[in-house]
Amino acid sequence: MKAEDYKQKVKEIEQEAWNKKIRLSKEFALLNNPYKVGDKITDHIGTIIITSITPCRQTFSGLPICNYNGDNLTKKGTISKREPSRVVYQSNILK
């Protein structure tokens, strides 16, 4: 085995491990997601109706969470004209 072969195999192993971590992260985030498309959620900015859910990595706890993309609602319950859509992080949802 040459040095190039060794380096290539190490790179392949690291890539495979990275892919497994990403899959595990997505699985964890989605299994711990209490909301579904169509639900209304509120954070410190306001309320949205969820249109899509995306797993992501949270920085301060290191655990994967979900991002909720949705239609931004006004206090009257209509879709905002100024900012029609926005993202809410799972960790920012008010209970």
Q: What is the pLDDT of residue 59?
A: 67
Give the contacts of 47 (CB within 8 A, at least 6 positions apart).
40, 41, 72, 73
Q: What is the pLDDT of residue 58?
A: 72
- Taken in order 68, 74, 78, 81, is the CA torsion positive or negative? negative
Q: What is the pLDDT of residue 37?
A: 97
| pLDDT per position as a tens digit, 11-67 | 999 999 999 999 999 999 999 999 999 999 999 999 999 999 999 987 677 899 999
| pLDDT per position as a tens digit, 59-94 | 677 899 999 999 999 999 999 999 999 999 998 999
Residues 46-73 as b/e (b if ≥16 CB within 10 A, e otherwise) read ebbbbeebebeeeeeeeebbbebbbbbb
In words, the CATH class of domain 3-92 is mainly beta
HSE-up (13 A, CA, CB side) for residue 38: 0
